[in-house]
């Protein structure tokens, strides 16, 4: 993060802007079972199952075309898989009007969103993106999707307003409560910009920010929706070495706030720095699950990245698989070739 540092420890005010359940990795936040997604004759996801423990980072890696983004799209309502379920156990969202007091399921906002969510959680499959966001899942995109003409703080406001009570009535009925809510949305947006190290860019048009800054702005906007689960799709793409280090600190800080993270990332070193557990996809199937150490030495993973497990099994193939995973120029790792 050039010119800015992720605050450590976080300002107390920020820690009040993100819901803080008492996370335990033993509690699932997400349980994906047997998800299959087809596009005509192409099977993009083939019986994918994974379990994500609350309050931790689970990384999803795999060669290009393995199905990682398709999985995110199934979880966030962009795609509807033909088969399978994705159970999610949300926590009550923080209210933008009173960020110091997280809403409980008993509050009006919490009750409407969490109605019907019991011990079995809620199945995300078939829900609209809007409904998924209201349940407490936010995402960033592989290709940055900001509003380039709007300022950094306005972009974050868009996220925070997802939870706002006044909604479309805000412009029509400027009551005292509405004005107070607007002030609080703005304050929270500033705090989130501070959190991701963009305090000095508040008024800058999003499109004028450096690439790494835009990625952090996307994260701030996603956090604005008060998610309990944050999906990051290749957040380090195009980042410099120092931006990658800052990203590690930022992801750790997000998890410290009680937000669970599902991370797609090609940079295996970054993944190993933040994730306790990794799921590896190849051709739409889960080929391995385990700790970073287990994954780095897994023959199926090495084969997926190198195309031949015999190729240097004892001469550092796992390191080269890591380099492939890092998406280094000229690596030629393109899983789209030879796809069904």
Residues that bind ligand ATP (CB under 6 A): 39, 42, 44, 62, 64-70, 142, 336, 339
Q: State which H helix or E strand residue 39 sits in.
A: strand 28-39
Peptide bond into 9 cis (omega under 30): yes
- Whose tokens are 């008024």? That residue is 203
CA distance 198 to 314: 45
Residue number with CB closer to ligand ATP (44 or 225) = 44
92, 208, 226, 111: which is closest to 159 by C-alpha? 226
Residue number, 58 or 114, with CB nearest to ligand ATP: 58
Which residue's CB is nearer to ligand ATP, number 107 or number 289? 289
Q: Shortest distance, CB of residue 58 to ligand ATP, whole angstroms?
A: 15
- Quick one: how many helices (H) and strands (E) in the chain? 12, 10
Q: How far is the CB of 255 from ligand ATP (least distance, A)?
A: 23
> Based on CB atoms, which residue is closest to ligand ATP, 70 or 257?
70
Q: Sheet harboring 137-139: ordered strands across?
A: 137-139, 229-233, 260-264, 57-61, 277-282, 285-290
Instruction: Give every strand in the sheet of 122-123, ordered side by side.
Output: 42-53, 28-39, 83-88, 122-123
Closest approach, Cβ 67 to ligand ATP, in A, equals: 4
Judged by beta carbon, residue 142 or residue 151, the one nearer ligand ATP is: 142
Closer CB to ligand ATP, 69 or 214, in the complex: 69
Q: Is 49 exposed, middle or buried (0-12, 13-18, 19+ CB in 10 A)?
A: middle
2, 210 contact by CB (below 8 A): yes
Residue 36 CB, shortest distance to ligand ATP, in Å, is 12
Give me the least distance between CB of 39 and ligand ATP, in Å please: 4
CB of 65 to ligand ATP, least distance (A): 4
């Amino acid at each position: 993060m050039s010119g800015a540092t992720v605050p450590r420890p976080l300002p107390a005010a920020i820690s009040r802007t993100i819901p803080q359940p008492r996370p335990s990795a033993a509690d699932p936040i997400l349980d994906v079972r047997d998800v299959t997604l087809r596009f005509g004759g192409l099977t993009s996801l083939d019986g994918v199952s994974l379990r994500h423990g609350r309050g931790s980072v689970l990384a999803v890696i795999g060669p290009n075309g393995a199905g990682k983004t398709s999985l995110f799209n199934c979880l966030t309502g962009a795609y509807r898989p033909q088969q399978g379920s994705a159970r999610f156990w949300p926590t009550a969202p923080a209210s933008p009007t009173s960020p110091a007091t997280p809403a409980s399921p008993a509050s009006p906002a919490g009750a409407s969103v969490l109605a019907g969510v019991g011990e079995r959680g809620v199945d995300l499959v078939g829900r609209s993106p809007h409904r998924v966001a209201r349940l407490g899942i936010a995402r960033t995109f592989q290709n940055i999707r900001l509003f380039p003409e709007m300022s950094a703080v306005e972009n974050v406001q868009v996220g925070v307003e997802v939870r706002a009570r006044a909604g479309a009535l805000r412009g029509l009925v400027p009551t005292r409560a509405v004005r107070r809510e607007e002030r609080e949305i703005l304050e929270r947006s500033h705090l989130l910009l501070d959190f991701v190290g963009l305090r000095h860019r508040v008024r800058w048009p999003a499109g004028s920010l450096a690439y790494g800054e835009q990625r952090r702005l996307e994260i701030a906007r996603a956090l604005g929706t008060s998610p309990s689960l944050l999906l990051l799709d290749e957040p380090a793409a195009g980042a410099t070495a120092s931006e990658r280090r800052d990203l590690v600190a930022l992801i750790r800080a997000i998890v410290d706030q009680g937000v669970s993270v599902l991370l797609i990332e090609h940079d295996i070193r970054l993944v190993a720095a933040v994730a306790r557990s990794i799921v590896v996809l190849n051709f739409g199937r889960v080929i391995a699950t385990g700790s970073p150490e287990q994954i780095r030495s897994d023959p199926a993973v090495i084969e997926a990245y190198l195309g031949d497990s015999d190729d240097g099994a004892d001469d550092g193939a796992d390191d080269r698989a890591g380099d492939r995973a890092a998406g280094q120029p000229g690596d030629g790792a393109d899983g789209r070739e030879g796809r069904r």
